[in-house]
Structures are given as structure tokens and as C-alpha cells.
Structure 1
Amino acid sequence: MDLTGKIVILTGVSKGIGHATAAALLAKGAIVAGWGRTAPDGLAHERFQFIECDVRSEVSVQEAYENTRREVGQEVHVLINNAGEGIMGPVDGFGADDWRTMFDTNVHGPFYCCRAVLPQMKRQQLGHIINVASLAGTVGNENMAGYCATKFAVRGFSESLFKEVRADGIKVTCVNPGSVETYFNGATPGAAPNPRKLQPEEVAATILHVLESPPGVLISEVDVRPLQPGK
């Protein structure tokens, strides 16, 4: 897809992968509606529109979609479900509220967003949905049961959805990053990039590579790993 002039909805735009992806999309000429709870810094651009949204709320997602159509345009060419929450801990010491927060953000949020945009994408017979999951959705890890469970769910949702909508000309891709230097789990990125982790810009570049694939090509899933991870 040539991204010039295309309308992209991007959740979790405030920082990390979302912020980097918004910047990369703008550099390619896209029109970006960035959804998030907090407005991002450093994305002032005539083709960027911040839309307040909490993807955990079905009502908030629907309002954000209506606001996007009013402020940006009726068509939706790309949806990137990037907003995510990671909370770690052993199962027997895990709070039920934290468990629900992760599922509301990581699983229910993409469902609400996909359901909002799919009618328009089907009318267009054109669209691309990217769900950002994780390599944690491919293998279970201790003290990550909740997070892994949500990302396994995103992968299953993505695989089912691509089979459901491919006949409508809609692509669905699940992107599974490995360890990324972001604010994940409350961490703060260091002043200097950690060469043992993926950088948000590298994941953004992968997302753009997928979006720019030829019209007849469906890349259904991509694993993204640091080349030389820490031991």
C-alpha cells in the first residue's frame, strides 16, 4: 500500500512503539489519527490528529471513531492496535484488578477497535489491520502468565480475523516484537539505546514494511527479535 494520503488509526500513540510508528507514518505521507489517554509530545504535524481514547472502554472507542471520522475523514485505510499493558507477577500473588486491566487493554481493546472500523473497510473493500502482540504470545514464561495469556489471545484473534475478512480485501497482520526498549511494565528507557533490545523505531520500520507490501500479498504474522539479545 502506498501510504501517501492514507488515513491511519493508531492506538497507544503517546510513547514507545506507538509514538515511533506515528512519526514513521507521517514521514511516509500518511494521515494519522493517534488514539490515546495522553497526548504525545513531539508529534505536532498538519497530518496528525490526537483523539482522546481509552481502548478499555467500548463507549470511548466508539466516540473516538466518530470523532476521527469528523476530524480526519470518513475512510479508514489502516488500523494499528498497539495500545498494551504489561503487569508481571506470580499467579497466586496477582491482583484480579491487574488481570482484568491487561485483558481489557490487550484483548478487549483490539476487539472494540476492529469492530468499529470493519464496516467501513468492508464498504471500501480495502484495509489493513495490524495487531501488535508479542513473542510472549508464543511461549509461556514464569511470572508473566497474565501478559502471555493476553498475547496468545491476540494471536488467535488475529488468525481468525484474517481468515474472516481476506475475501473483503482486508489484510490482518499480527506483529510479535521481542524485548523492546520502551516504558513497558513501568520501565524507563535509558539515555543511551540498549543494543541488546529492539528500539521502538525498529519495530515501527517493520510495521511500515508490512503495510507497504504489494496489494496481493498478505503477511499474516511477523516475529521481530533483537539480533544479539542479552544473556
Structure 2
Amino acid sequence: MTLSGDLAAFAGRLGHSFARPERLIRAVTHGSLGGAAAEDNQRLEFLGDRVLGLVMAEALLRADPAATEGQIAPRFNALVRREMCAEVARSIDLGAVLRLGRSETRSGGRRKDALLADAMEAVIAAIYLDGGMDAARDAVLRLWGERIGAVQADARDAKTALQEWAQARAEPPPVYAEVGREGPDHAPLFTIEARLASGTAEQARAGSKRQAEQAAAAALLARLTQ
């Protein structure tokens, strides 16, 4: 089996030459395409998540031998979370080679964080199965690149940080509410408000509720800590 031109170019961006090209084909095949479940990337996604986690844990421990588990954990979470995987996927144009069913294609599946993140993990698993742990480690470290060194020393997500701010002052946790939605179904734009019991609030907009909540929390936290 040989790779199509676009997949061969994608393999080049990954920096891995597949001994068994069908592994890469499966990694970019979404369940919406139909066919046997064993032919899509869900099982690879499960494996890739674990491989990515091990590589990142090793990299962070090696980069900061003096760091405690409490310091390493938020950095680790920042590097393996769905949004980061999707960001890396976009950097290598993974969306362009996804094999999707018609419904997912029409609904903008090539741009969705969830699909891109899952496929990124599946690709990592495909490299692992094809070339072993060394090949997977090399690919992950190369693709994540400067993101690993740039991860903040305190990389807690904004919602967690805001909740801890409130708890430290014996206040109830912040509340998040959707206050607006614009755009077509395949590319919505959500407006989310983060509000404290005191009434202090901030709003933010993003293409997913989760991203908008994080942005609203970050804006509110910035206001509170000025």
C-alpha cells in the first residue's frame, strides 16, 4: 500500500516514513466515514493519548529536575489538553488530510478542536506502532517544539485559577452562563459570562463554549488581580 500525494506530504511534515502506510491512513480516518469500527481512529486515539502523556511527563521531569509534582502537573495538563493537541494539529495542517463522512465535512469537521485533537493522538499512536517509542518520542518533541519550554511555571487553566481565587476568600465558585450565540451551526461563536457572587463579571467570545469560558475566566481574573 502506498500513500496518496497529500498523505505522503503530511507524513513528511510529521517527519516519519511509515513502513506500513495503512497505519497513517487509519489514524486520519474518522468514524463518520462509515465502515467497520476497526478501520477508524478511535482505538489509536486511546493509545496515542497514553503515548503523548508518557513523552510529556518524561520531557517535563527532565527539563526541571527540582520541580515538585504539584508544579509539574499543571504544566503537563497544559501540554496534553485537547486545545493544545488541536493547535499542534493545525500547525501541520492535519485537518486537510482527515477522512470524514459527508455530514462531518459539511459541518466543518476539519476545523473542530475535538476531531483535530483526537486525530493528533491517533497519529502519535500510528507512529508509535510503526516505529516504536523512540520514533514517537522524537515526533512529539519535534511537533510540540518550543511549546514545551514555553509552558508557564504555573500553567493552571484560567477557570481553575479563578475558582482557587474565590475559594481563598471563602467565596462561592464562579458561575458561567451563555449570554449569546452567533454564526451558523457549523461555525458558532459563543459569548460566555463568568460571574462571582459579588456580582463582578467579565464576558468573552470564542468558537466553543469551553474556550469562551476559559477566556471569560482569564479576563475576570486579570481584572481582579490588577
Q: Answer 1 or 2: which has greater strand percent.
A: 1
Compute the TM-score of the two structures, normalised by the length of structure 1: 0.27
Give the alignment's TM-score, normalised by structure 2. Answer: 0.27
More helix by percentage? 2
